Chains A and B, each alone.
Chain A
Amino acid sequence: MPVGVLALQGSVREHLDLLERSGGKGIPVKTLRELEQVQGLILPGGESTAMGKLLQDGGLMAPLAERIRRGMPVWGTCAGMVLLASGIEGEETVHLGVMDMTVRRNAYGTQRESFSVRDRIPEMGLGEVPLVFIRAPHIVHAARSVRILKTVRGAAVAARQKNMLATSFHPELTAETGFHRYFLDMVEEAGGSRMFTAP
């Protein structure tokens, strides 16, 4: 079974390309039927309000949350991190709400405050890699069971809780394959295979 990229909106193509370049194979996921065909899912960058609305309208929200709770590996980048969070600062409702952390949306401000840095992430076994923050969120509070993998400018921007990975930044906008290989490892550890075998 392949790895999926939630394809309602956002940086879908970029994730699919990097999955392929990382030795895996991904398929776009828009419907419940497509969700059933994958053994891991990437929630891409984009607008979390738009994706949340489409998840809800398409009847995907509850089944996806359920699969994640049952252990399907999932990785949210930027908007994807917001979708996973169990708390969103200043908002009453959340989306999937599966990962025990509270995030702040647009934590750095408007596009004027978007930035990129190069840094190491020893926690993920990564040397110096580019970290691109586009109107990014960050984590303001996390439960004990959430392991913070990276802090930038004093704020937590990458975290892992069991089968769930969240990053404020966008590896899919760079040529760096390290993050996608890390996620494919998570999928493999969960009992899946890296390669897509056509049915």
Chain B
Amino acid sequence: MEEQKKERAEMNRNLAQMLKGGVIMDVMNVEQAVIAEKAGAVAVMALEKIPSELRKSGGVARMSDPRMIKEIMEAVSIPVMAKVRIGHFVEAQVLESIGIDYIDESEVLTPADDMFHIPKSDFSAPFVCGAKNLGEALRRIGEGASMIRTKGEAGTGDVVEAVKHMRTISGEIRRLQLLPKEELMTAAKEMGAPYDLVRWVGENGRLPVVNFAAGGIATPADGAMMMQLGCDGVFVGSGIFASENPEKRAAAIVRAVTHFQDPQMVAETMEDLGEAMSGVAVSGLADRYAARGW
């Protein structure tokens, strides 16, 4: 039983490895999912409203209609992810029961528990979770997440928070690498993270799972910058389907993320893209999604 659980956890991390270097796109229906797949997305995130619309409409945001998710699963061959509220383990059970490829326990939805996250190791389906810093990332991995993404600030089209979270996590990893062994327990205490994971990161200089960037990426240059900052791939939420020409922008971001080290190639992808999503500056926001999560 324990052995089987370990093997399942390993295979769930493995699936995230297959997504590396790619772009995962938010989609709201079958038509958008097909556009995303054709544009070269490595996976899609199925949800009823993209974060920029959730921001506008307000109210309680919950898991999407399972039927809509199943229709998307039937329409595309790439992995399909879907979001559940933080702590809402029954929404997670529901998604697992329909055979979802990845569950996002997401701060974009309204939290269902203001103290605790889902015990993700209890599930056979893989989880991705958001993080602002290394402690938060390691707590989620400790709970069983097999993939991490920066939180950024979803639905804004403002990349500043994604950059901040990526730099924070990288900086904290570098710091752990420099610490002598006897200081790691106190570091674990300070960042509120499991000691064995803190030690692992100190020794290996990276997270033990794949780490994507998310929250505010709207242009090919945004995607390429996040890759240069060291993330393994990119989530684009509202950035594609809230823009003027989703097909073209989707393909452009995919290409820019692959060729992130080649500015000439990134420049090519950015020509005649049409309007990006209009967005809102994070600095003027009252409601920050990134603050959700414990």
Cβ contact within 8 Å between A115 and B17 = no
Residue-wise interface mask of A (2-14) relative to B, using a CB-CB cutoff of 8 A (1 in contact, 0 not)? 0000011111111
Q: Is A180 an interface residue (CB 8 A)?
A: no
Known contacts A10-B21, A134-B14, A173-B14, then 16 further A-B pairs from the complex at CB < 8 Å, ordered by chain A residue: A12-B21, A14-B17, A47-B19, A47-B42, A49-B40, A49-B77, A50-B40, A50-B254, A53-B39, A57-B40, A58-B255, A110-B79, A110-B101, A111-B125, A134-B18, A135-B18
Q: Which A residues touch B37, using CB under 8 A?
A: 49
Contact B78 A134 (CB under 8 A): no
A57-B251, A111-B15, A111-B126 as given contacts; A50 in contact with B73, CB under 8 Å: no
A70 to B51, CA, bound (A): 50
A residues in contact with B96, CB < 8 Å: 112
Complex Cα gap A149–B246 (Å): 44
Asked if A114 meets B11 with Cβ closer than 8 Å, knowing A53-B39, A53-B254, the reply is: yes
Are B11's CB and A9's CB within 8 A? Answer: no
Q: Which residue of A lies closest to B78 (CB)?
A: A47
- A68 adjacent to chain B (CB < 8 Å): no
Collect the chain A residues with CB atoms within 8 Å of residue B43's CB: 47
Contact with A along B50-63 (1 / 0, CB 8 A): 00000000000000
Quick one: which of A1-59 are within 8 Å of B by CB? 7-14, 30, 45-47, 49-50, 53-54, 57-58
Note all chain A residues with C-beta closer than 8 A to B259: 30
Question: A49-B37, A57-B251, A173-B17 are known contacts. Are A111 and B101 too (CB-CB below 8 A)?
Answer: yes
Contacts of A132 in B (CB 8 A): 11, 14
Tell me if A71 is interfacial: C-beta within 8 Å of chain B: no
Q: Which 10 A-B pairs have the closest CB atoms?
A: A53-B40, A9-B21, A111-B101, A50-B40, A47-B42, A9-B22, A110-B99, A114-B11, A50-B42, A173-B14
- Say yes or no: B100 contacts A110, CB within 8 Å: yes
Q: Does A161 contact B (CB under 8 A)?
A: no
Count of B residues near A, CB < 8 Å? 36
Contact of A134 among B15, B254, B255, B258 (CB under 8 A): B15
A9-B21, A47-B19, A170-B14 are contacts. A110–B77 as well, Cβ < 8 Å? no
- Tell me the bound Cα distance from A21 to B69 in angstroms: 42
What does the 1/0 interface line of B274-291 toward A look like (CB < 8 Å)?
000000000000000000
Query: Out of A7, A12, A49, A109, which one reaches B78, CB within 8 Å?
Result: A49
- Complex Cα–Cα for A30 and B256 (A): 12
Docked pose: A109 CA to B80 CA in angstroms: 12
In Å, the complex CA distance between A134 and B124 comes to 14
Interface pair A9/B258, CB less than 8 Å apart: yes
Q: Hey, which chain B residues are within 8 Å of A114, CB to CB?
A: 11, 14-15
In the complex, are the beta carbons of A54 and B254 less than 8 A apart?
yes
Say whether A106 faces chain B, with CB atoms less than 8 Å apart.
yes
Known interface pairs A11-B17, A53-B254; A115-B11 also in contact (CB < 8 Å): yes
Contact check, A112 vs B125: say whether CB atoms are below 8 A apart: yes
Does B71 lie at the interface of the complex (its beta carbon under 8 Å from any beta carbon of A)? no
Residue pair A79, B18 in contact (C-beta under 8 Å)? yes
Given contact pairs A111-B125, A114-B15, A57 touches B77 in the complex (Cβ within 8 A): no
